[in-house]
Structure 1
């Protein structure tokens, strides 16, 4: 994965309203893979703060949201 892609994945993970399913759709990364990228690229304290914030958060998980729609300013490259 290119550094530009890693930066975008990190950015999407930090965004409260971007669900993990949008990251999977755009980059083919499951939630666990996105978490690994965050763990590898953030400082330990930053990772813990982020992980605590997104754990179980309904805006980060489509199954917990009311809407099945997500928006992205970047389109998936085919």
Structure 2
């Protein structure tokens, strides 16, 4: 758990909140979280385990495990993006406005 504490220490509270929010979203793949925050799937799991109650963590893990929309390898091959195609760009969690 020491690595999770170090990882959390490197992120600000707002980023941690956003990572947790994105991890709970069904249609946000882990690759999108990694792209925006540089945090791998295993690191997201460590953050979730550290920041949530044990029962909430178990519920989340059961929910996302083997979920096709959370894992790029299981997603529909035609779905190769993690943002709306009408969005211009995503840069470090700052989504461009129209």
Gap regions ≥5 residues in structure 1: none
The answer to which structure, 1 or 2, has the higher relative contact order (CA under 8 A, 6+ apart) is 1
Tell me whether 1:35 sits opposite 2:50 in the alignment. no
Task: Quote the Cα distance in structure 1 between the aligned partners of 2:54 and 2:27.
Answer: 23
Instruction: Determine which structure has more spread, i.e. the larger CA radius of gyration.
Output: 2
TM-score (normalised: structure 1): 0.92
- Structure 1 partner of 2:90: 75
| Runs of 4+ that moved beyond 3 A | none
Following superposition, the deviation at residue 18 of structure 1 comes to 0.2
* Equivalent runs, 1:1-78 vs 2, <5 Å: 1-66=11-76, 67-71=79-83, 75-77=90-92
More strand by share: 2
TM-score (normalised: structure 2): 0.74
Q: How many corresponding residue pairs?
A: 77
8 Å Cα contact 1:17-1:60 kept in structure 2: yes
Task: Quote the Cα distance in structure 2 between the aligned partners of 1:75 and 1:33.
Answer: 21
Gap regions ≥5 residues in structure 2: 1-10, 93-98
